[in-house]
């Protein structure tokens, strides 16, 4: 079947990616639905007074699942990450029958320096975004710098953002870019995987044209790092601290999602600079930084000859 397989009798890369994503989506939807239903029943048994509150009780349950730092919210977030990692590795083994290192997930023992570089680069990059937004008065800091807010939620969300960084980079960069190499066209893996990465955020609150552009540029930058370093550890590290500093350190929305934070940021007026309801990733400051990042990767990051 030429539709399903190419001339080399390989399953086409588009089908591979689609089947992995559909498997992940359906399993996540089913398991989340079952967990949510069971959790709701248990909560109403333990707290029967919520039944008499009508919409108030339903709102309480909803907030439990939308908060990343609550037990059910954290569980669902981690479940999604683990299922994506599981299906990527499962289908990689079934179809390609190769080591996970071949899609960039090399041994951390040999790649810890790359991870550290990524973590440091992501922290610095988003700190620059925050400083620019504060200096242009697009946003304001609510609590002073010497009055940080600390909570257990910051630790829970760090764990979640670690798994988010791993699962999104493993799928979008490691898996998609590697299987797309079957096309034999050099530009296809990085362009198509970046489009897929941007579209994965379509259901996020506040998504906009600039947000899609920035997500695409983020994908290009991380994909370019993958091409040059032959592993995804810099990308994973960058992704983790980019998200964590954006949400839990500075208090911005992370792709439209609110988090606990050490500092609280107030958007003065939602606009094209600060990204409005999507957060800075929907604004032009991030656009400029990502373009600069791609140039820096091109100019200063040496290309390795090994994986």
pLDDT in tens, 267-285: 888 899 999 999 999 999 9
The residue-averaged pLDDT of 98-120 equals: 96
What confidence tier does 57 reach under pLDDT thresholds 50, 70, 90? low
How much is the pLDDT for 229?
A: 96
The string of DSSP codes covering 134-147 is: HHTTSEEESS-TTS
Cβ within 8 Å of residue 301, ≥6 positions away: 225, 228, 229
Say if residues 271 and 278 touch (Cβ distance below 8 Å).
no
How much is the pLDDT for 10?
A: 79
Cβ within 8 Å of residue 1, ≥6 positions away: none
Say if residues 237 and 117 touch (Cβ distance below 8 Å).
yes
What is d(CA 122, CA 246) in angstroms, rounded to the nearest whole number?
10
Instruction: Report strand pairing: 139-141 vs 265-267.
Output: antiparallel
- In the chain, domain spans: 13-300
User: pTM for the full model?
Assistant: 0.94
Give the model confidence (pLDDT) of 6-41 as tens digits: 777 778 999 999 999 999 999 999 999 999 889 878
Find the range with the poorest average confidence among 42-46, 138-142, 247-251, 293-297.
42-46
3-state DSSP assignment of residue 197? helix
Cβ within 8 Å of residue 146, ≥6 positions away: none
How much is the pLDDT for 62?
A: 74
Cβ within 8 Å of residue 274, ≥6 positions away: 133, 138, 139, 267, 268, 280, 283, 285
């Amino acid at each position: 079947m030429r539709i399903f397989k190419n001339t080399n009798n390989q399953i086409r890369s588009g089908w591979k990616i689609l089947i992995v994503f559909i498997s992940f989506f359906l399993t996540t939807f089913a398991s989340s639905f079952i967990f949510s239903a069971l959790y709701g029943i248990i909560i109403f048994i333990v707290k029967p007074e919520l039944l008499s509150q009508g919409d108030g009780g339903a709102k309480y349950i909803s907030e439990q699942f939308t908060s990343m730092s609550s037990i059910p919210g954290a569980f669902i977030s981690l479940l999604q990450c683990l299922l994506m990692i599981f299906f990527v590795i499962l289908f990689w083994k079934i179809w390609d029958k190769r080591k996970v290192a071949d899609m960039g997930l090399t041994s951390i023992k040999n790649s810890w320096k790359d991870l550290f570089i990524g973590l440091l680069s992501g922290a610095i990059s988003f700190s620059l975004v925050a400083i620019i937004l504060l200096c242009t008065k697009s946003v304001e800091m609510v609590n002073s710098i010497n009055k940080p807010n600390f909570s257990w939620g910051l630790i829970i969300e760090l764990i979640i953002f670690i798994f988010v960084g791993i699962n999104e980079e493993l799928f979008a960069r490691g898996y998609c870019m590697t299987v797309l190499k079957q096309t034999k066209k050099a530009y296809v893996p990085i362009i198509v995987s970046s489009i897929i990465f941007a579209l994965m955020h379509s259901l996020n609150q506040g998504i906009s044209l600039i947000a899609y552009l920035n997500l695409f540029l983020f994908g290009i930058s991380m994909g370019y790092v993958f091409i040059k370093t032959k592993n995804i550890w810099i990308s994973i590290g960058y992704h983790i601290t980019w998200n964590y500093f954006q949400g839990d350190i500075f208090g911005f929305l992370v792709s439209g999602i609110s988090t606990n934070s050490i500092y609280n940021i107030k958007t003065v007026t939602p606009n094209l600079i600060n990204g409005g309801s999507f957060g800075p990733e929907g604004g032009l400051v991030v656009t400029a930084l990502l373009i600069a990042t791609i140039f820096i990767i091109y100019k200063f990051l040496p290309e390795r000859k090994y994986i």
